[in-house]
């Protein structure tokens, strides 16, 4: 009987001490903030990538923020990449045609259990010709042919003018 009492006391103490531990691991997330003013002609964040997080298929209207995306902690030297869609309605079923690629001017990082907020605007990103900022053609090719290849399938992007035009072959391999 003494053994059973000791055992039950041990289970009770063990259960009580486990209650002090959190139910789950700390959640690390990333949020995109489209900091362009919500007026006519301002761009929608059509697609974005940061470190190992993709925002594909989750457009962010001007003045709005994305839903938080799960991330892993990362150092502050990770660049963010964005595709802006000008003159496009996010509720449209037609893909945008006026696309511009951006690269963050500096990297972003996040600690375990924190939320990283990435402000998307011309102060934090290069590549918007309308703001007097351009990427090199090599940077633009990396973004349009590797990072955002699906968004730019069948298009050729000119970094000097920030324009995407249909390829002569329609993107056929």
pLDDT-derived band at 142 (thresholds 50, 70, 90) equals: very high
Assign 24 to helix, strand or coil.
coil
Confidence class of residue 3 from pLDDT cuts 50, 70 and 90?
very low
- What are the sequence ranges of the domains in the chain? 37-166
Q: Is the dihedral of CA 78, 84, 90, 94 positive or negative?
A: negative
Length of the chain, in residues: 173
What's the pTM value of the predicted model, to 2 decimals? 0.83
Does residue 146 carry a pLDDT above 80? yes
pLDDT of residue 25: 83
Residue 2 has pLDDT above 90, yes or no: no
pLDDT digits (tens, 9 = 90+) for 66-103: 999 999 999 999 999 999 999 899 998 999 989 999 99
32-47, pLDDT tens digit by residue? 999 999 888 899 999 9
Report the C-alpha dihedral over residues 129, 93, 61, 135, rounded to 10 degrees: -20
């Amino acid at each position: 009987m003494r053994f059973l009492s000791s055992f039950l006391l041990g289970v009770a103490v063990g259960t009580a001490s486990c209650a002090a531990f959190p139910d789950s691991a700390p959640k690390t997330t990333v949020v995109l903030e489209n900091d362009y003013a919500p007026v006519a002609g301002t761009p929608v964040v059509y697609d974005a990538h940061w470190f190992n997080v993709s925002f594909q298929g989750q457009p962010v209207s001007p003045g709005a923020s994305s839903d938080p995306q799960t991330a892993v902690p990362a150092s502050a030297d990770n660049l963010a990449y964005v595709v802006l869609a000008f003159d496009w309605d996010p509720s449209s079923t037609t893909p945008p045609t006026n696309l511009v690629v951006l690269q963050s001017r500096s990297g972003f990082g996040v600690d375990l259990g924190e939320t990283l907020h990435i402000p998307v605007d011309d102060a934090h990103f290069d590549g918007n010709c309308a703001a007097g900022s351009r990427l090199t053609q090599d940077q633009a090719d990396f973004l349009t042919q590797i990072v955002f290849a699906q968004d730019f399938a069948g298009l050729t992007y000119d970094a000097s003018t920030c324009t995407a035009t249909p390829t002569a072959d329609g993107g056929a391999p």
